[in-house]
Amino acid sequence: MSAVPLRFQPGDSLTIRDGTGGTVLWLVVERKRGGYLLKPQDGCDPRTWSDDELDDAYGTRRLILYPCNLAGLPKSLTEVLDKTWEYWPEEIRQEAQRRLVYVTMAETLRSSHSTWLDAFKAAAEAVYSAYRDRWTAEDRELMAKRAGEARGRRRKSTWGSVELDASSPVRKPHPLTLRRWYQRWNQNGRDIRMLISQQHRRGKRRPGIPHVPGAADHYVLMKEAVEKHYLSMPRKRKTYAYRKYEDACRAVQLHPASYRTFRLFIERSYTDYEEYQRRYGRRAAYKKFGIFERTELPQRPLEEVELDHCLIDLIVTHPITGRPLGRPWLTALLDRVTRVILGVHLSFEVPSYASLQRALAHAFWKKDLSGIEGLEHDWPCHGIPEWIFTDNGRELRSDSLRLSEAMLDFGVVNLPVKSPWLKGAVERLFGSIGVQVFSHQEGTVLSRTKDFYNPVERARRSLFEISRILLKWIVDDYHITEHPALGVAPLEKWLQLTTLYPVRPVPSFDQIIRMTGELITRSIQNVGVHYEGLLYADKKVLEDLRARRGRLDKKWTLRIDPYDFGEIAILDDETGQWHVLPCTDQDISRHVSKYQHRVHKLMAKRNLAAGMPITVEHLRKAKAMAEESVRIRFEHETRTKTAARAARYDSNGETFTPLAGGSLTANHKPFSLATAVLPSPVSASVQTEMPAAPVPVPLPSLPTPPSPSSIHSDLEDEVERISELWFKNMR
């Protein structure tokens, strides 16, 4: 397997674990031919590590990257790096994210200014003007949230929080302050934790007396009338807003200004773009005032990556019964400059945060194809991109994804809606996959003669078979075939450019695991931690956390795997480390996804009288009922929409291919559509060589239930419909 050179900067620190289990801290000195010169921090002689040695240590999870010199950091910054990002209070993290906006803007504006100080001045002004109102509203919302929590606890806020004054506006930083932020951030690996405020090291200070604004004047009344009655939708005329302004003046006994003065106030206070955007929408303003130009391809690999979801053009069948299940979803990441496919995810899970993070993990980490037979080439494409261009899906604008951006230092560009040409490379890739892979298989929906070809009846391939066919096409066809836009094969282009521009690796495999988790907050009760009706407990861990002073009513930070409720992780706010808490009822939680658990809860609730609590025994019976209903759908369902719901219920969250060094899930699910292989009724003319697998025992025959109505993409609606249908059919 060929090693992809990893990119390290001089001054970075690497911890490498040797064969005996000992860990040595190394300092990156410089890049050598075919490797790096590393100096150990214990005073021994430096040595050169080859790219193969570093790649082997990275793939076997023996190497952890710290993009700074740990030995030369001040004590205050070392204490910050010892803690995880989630350790810090929300107010401090919010301030660090705002500082990150300032320093990145200053770096962007540096080329257009003669000195760094001028760039800092321009960045401070630009960011302050763009984000002042938004950040002020966030401060007010956070202030109201903290006030509600304090009223609920009947006491003051906990140590470490930043007291906010909702009446005071956001302050613009001084250029010299901005220079200090930038130097500390740039010299220490551009870690967002370097921008964390040091206010937690100070004593508490009471806020000053809040400023009381003066009485309303003409400009205040005009601004209120314009904002409320002219620049809001549905659109109204200026004369209507002027009449509302006159009414407001009479209410406070002021003589109103003339209509001409009112119009001049609008023209001088708002640009044409702002006025048009507020009245007609952002997209309409973008089309009317935007400047459109061609963009050139980037120069470095992973500089720009496109991401998108696609419902594949093929009906997939069940591996045991051969019944059609519907069309799975495909998520793909494509590098713009080399056109290699960095990672994919194929499952019946609709586009969500869980499927997105599985695809990102597959793209960011090394892939292990050693256990897959029938492949002639490797897939050496991985690394952290600089920018990801994608659409405006809910999961692509989530706070969890924003946290992943800050932790791994990459950016997500949410393109305007209904503009697929802005990420045309991945759209073209989906078209090529549909034509070159799926159109040759039985069950394709690309046929133009629907009256003579029924894709549901002709479907023959299972999800596992389609995954292996797609994998072989990627590594043995697409990557090694000359691309029309490049003139060379994508894999050849990738190997050429990564030699000149090494890829940026993920610091450790734990970062990949944490990126797939969903963050929540819960308190520790005297029996453990409750979440979604399940109990998680580890006596030794929870007793230590709960016994600390002031921790009885604390909301602890938890991380859950949306594909496995068998365990959760809790963050120790003093050590900054995660502890694993197993569920006390493994038979109803292990390998149970969030979607499955909500189905179980709703089915159990429908079987109880109003007001009765749901017990573990009820969930156990509901789980058995749901699994039996899934078997019914896989045996007898004729409508693909209903069968697709059942297939989504059966998803296990595994990545498209194994990852080097480990798996995202704690244990593999005993049976799932993603891993089961059976000889489905495929004709000899369309069969290809597939890895051999044992044949499971067929399921027993059960009555055919009625079909439900159309599918809904919203999770709550989906759970409501599938649980109601299954419950009625199993009674």
In the predicted model, what is the mean pLDDT of residues 125-151? 86
Higher-pLDDT residue of 445 and 649 is: 445
Side-chain-facing half-sphere of 628: CA atoms under 13 Å: 17
Whether the pLDDT of residue 636 is over 70: the answer is: no
Higher-pLDDT residue of 458 and 688 is: 458
Whether the pLDDT of residue 9 is over 50: the answer is: yes
Higher-pLDDT residue of 313 and 162 is: 313
Q: What band does 674 get if pLDDT is binned at 50, 70 and 90?
A: very low
In the predicted model, what is the mean pLDDT of residues 405-421? 84
Cα gap 125→580, rounded to integer Å: 45
Contacts of 664 (CB under 8 A, 6+ apart): 358, 361, 512, 513, 516, 561, 653, 654, 655
Which of the residue ranges 30-39, 73-82, 128-137, 438-447 would you say has the lowest mean pLDDT? 73-82
Cα gap 527→723, rounded to integer Å: 30
pLDDT in tens, 522-540: 999 989 999 988 999 999 9
Count of beta carbons in the 10 Å neighbourhood of residue 415? 17
Cα gap 85→555, rounded to integer Å: 16
Q: Are 724 and 605 in contact (CB under 8 A)?
A: no
In the predicted model, what is the mean pLDDT of residues 506-514? 80
Residue 343, pLDDT score:
95
600 backbone dihedrals φ, ψ, rounded to 5°: -60, -45
Percentage of the chain exceeding pLDDT 90: 27
Count of beta carbons in the 10 Å neighbourhood of residue 108? 13
Highest mean pLDDT: which of 213-217, 318-322, 442-446, 510-514?
Answer: 442-446
Which of the residue ranges 80-84, 358-362, 563-567 would you say has the lowest mean pLDDT? 80-84
Residue 23, pLDDT score:
82
Cα gap 640→324, rounded to integer Å: 6
The continuous run of DSSP H or E covering 325 comes out as: strand 324-326
Whether the pLDDT of residue 363 is over 90: the answer is: yes
Residue 488, pLDDT score:
94
Higher-pLDDT residue of 355 and 710 is: 355
Cα gap 604→611, rounded to integer Å: 12
Residue 637, pLDDT score:
59
Cα gap 281→233, rounded to integer Å: 9
CA separation, residue 432 to residues 225, 313, 427, 478 (Å):
54, 11, 9, 9
Residue 336, pLDDT score:
94
Whether the pLDDT of residue 385 is over 90: the answer is: yes
In the predicted model, what is the mean pLDDT of residues 597-619? 86
Q: What is the DSSP string of 486-538?
A: TSS-HHHHHHHHHHHSPBPPPS-HHHHHHHT-EEEEE--BTTBEEETTEEE--
Q: What band does 276 get if pLDDT is binned at 50, 70 and 90?
A: very high
Strands 387-390 and 304-311, sheet pairing: parallel
Q: Are 672 and 651 in contact (CB under 8 A)?
A: yes
Which of the residue ranges 300-309, 573-582, 640-649, 663-672 would you say has the lowest mean pLDDT? 663-672
Helices 640-649 + 715-730 axis angle, to 10: 100
Q: Is the pTM of this model over 0.75?
A: no
Q: What band does 247 get if pLDDT is binned at 50, 70 and 90?
A: very high
In the predicted model, what is the mean pLDDT of residues 492-507? 93
Whole-number average pLDDT of the chain: 80
Whether the pLDDT of residue 682 is over 50: the answer is: no
Q: What band does 244 get if pLDDT is binned at 50, 70 and 90?
A: very high
Q: Are 471 and 375 in contact (CB under 8 A)?
A: yes
Q: What band does 669 get if pLDDT is binned at 50, 70 and 90?
A: very low
pLDDT in tens, 327-337: 899 999 999 99
In the predicted model, what is the mean pLDDT of residues 415-432? 86
Whether the pLDDT of residue 596 is over 50: the answer is: yes
Cα gap 379→368, rounded to integer Å: 8
CATH number of 304-508: 3.30.420.10
pLDDT in tens, 339-360: 999 999 999 888 887 788 889 9
Q: Which of 506, 537, 504 is nearest to 522 (CA)?
A: 537
pLDDT in tens, 46-63: 889 998 889 888 888 888
Whether the pLDDT of residue 105 is over 60: the answer is: yes
Whether the pLDDT of residue 647 is over 80: the answer is: no
In the predicted model, what is the mean pLDDT of residues 473-484? 94
Whether the pLDDT of residue 315 is over 70: the answer is: yes
Q: What band does 17 get if pLDDT is binned at 50, 70 and 90?
A: confident
Percentage of the chain exceeding pLDDT 70: 82
Residue 605 is encoded by which pair of tokens?
């609730």
Residue 557, pLDDT score:
84
Higher-pLDDT residue of 699 and 597 is: 597
Residue 42, pLDDT score:
75
In the predicted model, what is the mean pLDDT of residues 492-520? 85
Sort residue 339 into left (φ over 0), alpha (ψ -120 to 50) or beta: left
Count of beta carbons in the 10 Å neighbourhood of residue 235? 11
Count of beta carbons in the 10 Å neighbourhood of residue 430? 18
Whether the pLDDT of residue 305 is over 90: the answer is: yes
Cα gap 642→539, rounded to integer Å: 43
C-alpha R_g of the chain: 29
Q: Are 448 and 345 in contact (CB under 8 A)?
A: no
In the predicted model, what is the mean pLDDT of residues 126-141? 90
Cα gap 93→85, rounded to integer Å: 8
In the predicted model, what is the mean pLDDT of residues 589-617? 86
